[in-house]
Amino acid sequence: MADKKTLTFSIMDAPYENARTVTALRLIDIAAKRGYNVNVFAYEGAVALSFTKQAAHPNAVHDHDVDQEDHPLPNEWIAAILRSAEAKGGKVDWINCGLCVDERGVNESVVGTRRGTPGDLWKAAAASDGTLVIGAK
């Protein structure tokens, strides 16, 4: 793809806290489905998005057991985005801030994601067609 774009996102919100997370994942998903190369630098609470020990739960308010509720887990969304990118000929380089991971004890991360540093964000942004920072507020 001659016009393949490379986009970089930095996200900061923890899972299950803010609509910004879903919005960011929508943008990343669209880019992946277009076959773009995408870099994601997960900073602070966002490193927990790819944590593999997230667990679905039942929801008594909905009268649903765990299967009926089919609760979405951000790590599953991220794994799906990575698969989608690969199927479309692109790549998602999902980088978790290593110190932020250690602070939160969320070392178990989706296969295909990796640890990194803010220097990786800088390099990714410098090599990208566009960069969007979505900070926690």
Partner 1 sequence: MKVLQVIDTAYRCTIEEQDDPVVWITHVMKGAGGDLSLLLVNYAVKGQDASGLAFGDRKQSQPPHIDRDIQKLASKGVPVYLIQEDLAERGIRPDELVDGVERIGRSSVAGLFGKFDHIWHW
Q: Which residues bind partner 1 (CB under 8 A)?
A: 10, 12, 43-44, 117-119, 121-123, 125-126, 131, 133, 135-137
| Dihedral sign (CA 44, 113, 116, 107) | positive
State in angstroms the smallest separation of the CB of 13 from partner 1: 11
**Which of 70, 69, 59, 72 shows the shortest CA–CA distance to 21?**
72
Residue 43 or residue 94: which is nearer to partner 1 going by CB? Answer: 43
**Cα–Cα nearest to 15, from 109, 119, 118, 117:** 109
**What is the C-alpha to C-alpha distance for residues 24 and 39, in angstroms, rounded to an integer?**
12
CB of 12 to partner 1, least distance (A): 8
> Smaller CB distance to partner 1: residue 65 or 129?
129
Return the number of the residue (12 or 101) whose C-beta is nearest partner 1. 12
Min dist. Cβ of residue 37 to partner 1 (A): 18
User: Measured between alpha carbons, how far is 70 from 103 in angstroms, rounded to an integer?
Assistant: 29
- Smallest gap from Cβ 135 to partner 1, in A, equals 4
